[in-house]
Amino acid sequence: MRAIDRQIIANTARRLVANKRTRRRTGLYPLANLFLFITMRCNAKCDHCFCWQDLNIGIPELTLEQVDRLAETVPPFDILILTGGEPTLRRDLPEVLAAFAKRRKASVLRINTNALFPDKLVRMAEDFKAEFPDVGIDFQISLDGLRETHDRIRGVPGNFDKVIESLRKLWPLQEKYPAVAVNVLTIINSMNYRELVELNDLLRREVSPAVYQGFEIMRDVNRTAWNILPEIREANVAPKSNMDLPPVEDFPKIVADLERINEGSPYRADAYRLHTIATLRMIATGKPQFPCVTAGSAVGVIYSNGDVAHCEFTKPFANLAQFDFDFSALWQSEAAWERRGQIRCCHCTHGSFHGKAVEYSWRGIAGMVRQAL
Ligand code: SF4
Ligand code: SF4
């Protein structure tokens, strides 16, 4: 086994032991990932977007003052994921980052972006590093296919070229500064599943052989989630009607392609890769793969209007405004605990939770070892 894989697995196992100890003591895993939908404005029109019905309809956004209060009251955690909508459309995004960075609340601040503004991303990274050299900043760039496919899925001509430009400009910052990371995320769907290997080859050629590309299956509460109680199910979390999952009969080919990509990856043991393959099994059989233990515990979701949910497939249970924007008070509230009791019987492919679930089970860690050998 390669040293890097051994190191990833050992760190994951150590974290799991510590996290289980905390859960025994407090009833919850320590908060690890917090998703913050910082805006519901977007400049793309993706066919696979699971929140397209909420975009650009004037949903309110947390003010900077409210974000500041959130950053003050949240316990320290691993990764703040700024998402939306397109986070870079918020002019005060640097101030949002600073609110968490100055308090050292998250080890890494991640920006999920469609990368339509390459220079803005580079400027933001440079400015952030000048002020907070020791806080991690991570760019997760969406790329869903080769040029024609990507632009068609995203509904934005020229988006593919902007993504490649962004990747080429951001990539060298990882050498220049500590704690900068650049990743690519591809959402697998009926339009792009045939070109995954070609896309990965292109990234290695055009950006770097060390490029990290994660994959996730398109989210759809109707087709990739099971047994959510009807009263808490978020019925609108689904793509546009022209977008489908790849056909089940082609899943073996997708698994083979992902394994081939994984073979050449610098991080072969990665839990996220294991999760992607397991989700295909889940869709094909309808059976759970790794138990969802992180929603409402290690992972939480905050929407741009202050609503809070344990995951995006279930309805919000409270709004930050009810708790004077004190996240810890909300997270320990009766409503939060009641909802935790309601999400014990469901399972789904949602990568933000299922991906994490791999790291929170010994079966997942055993799978990571097998993957690395
Ligand atoms: S997937 Fe992201 S970039 Fe695409 S429309 Fe939805 S919010 Fe915008
Ligand atoms: S993320 Fe977890 S809690 Fe939410 S629907 Fe999926 S399995 Fe249920």
* Cβ pair 99, 68 in contact under 8 A: yes
Which of the listed residues 35, 350, 352, 354 should we mutate to test ligand 2's pocket, taking the one with most ligand atoms within 8 A of CB? Answer: 350
Q: What is the CATH number of domain 3-372?
A: 3.20.20.70
What pLDDT does 270 receive? 80
d(CA 189, CA 247): 9
Q: What rounded mean pLDDT belongs to the chain? A: 95
What is the per-residue pLDDT across 332-366, written as a single tens digit (0 to 9) for each? 999 999 999 999 999 999 999 998 999 999 999 99
What is the per-residue pLDDT across 33-73, written as a single tens digit (0 to 9) for each? 999 999 999 999 999 999 999 999 999 999 999 999 999 99
What is the per-residue pLDDT across 278-325, written as a single tens digit (0 to 9) for each? 999 999 999 999 999 999 999 999 999 999 999 999 999 999 999 999
Kindly tell me if the per-residue pLDDT of 274 is higher than 90: no
**Single-letter code of the amino acid located at 307:** D
Give one DSSP letter per residue of 281-337, joined into a string.
HHHHH---SS----BTTTEEEE-TTSEEESSTTB---EEGGGGTT-HHHHHTSHHHH
Protein residues with CB under 6 Å of any ligand 2 atom: 225, 228, 292, 295, 310-311, 313-314, 343, 346-348, 350, 353
Using a CB cutoff of 8 Å and minimum separation of 24, what contacts does 324-329 make?
A: 324/69, 325/66, 325/69, 325/70, 325/73, 326/69, 326/73, 327/70, 327/73, 327/74, 327/302, 328/73, 328/74, 328/75, 329/73
What is the distance in A from the centroid of ligand 2 to the CA of 160?
32
What is the distance in A from the centroid of ligand 2 to the CA of 295?
6
Residue-range domain boundaries for the chain: 3-372
* Cβ pair 82, 38 in contact under 8 A: yes
What is the per-residue pLDDT across 131-183, written as a single tens digit (0 to 9) for each? 999 999 999 999 999 999 999 999 999 999 999 999 999 999 999 998 999 99
What is the per-residue pLDDT across 207-250, written as a single tens digit (0 to 9) for each? 999 999 999 999 999 999 999 999 999 999 999 988 999 999 99
What is the distance in A from the centroid of ligand 1 to the CA of 116?
11
**Number of residues assigned to the chain:** 373
What is the distance in A from the centroid of ligand 2 to the CA of 346?
6
d(CA 62, CA 37): 9
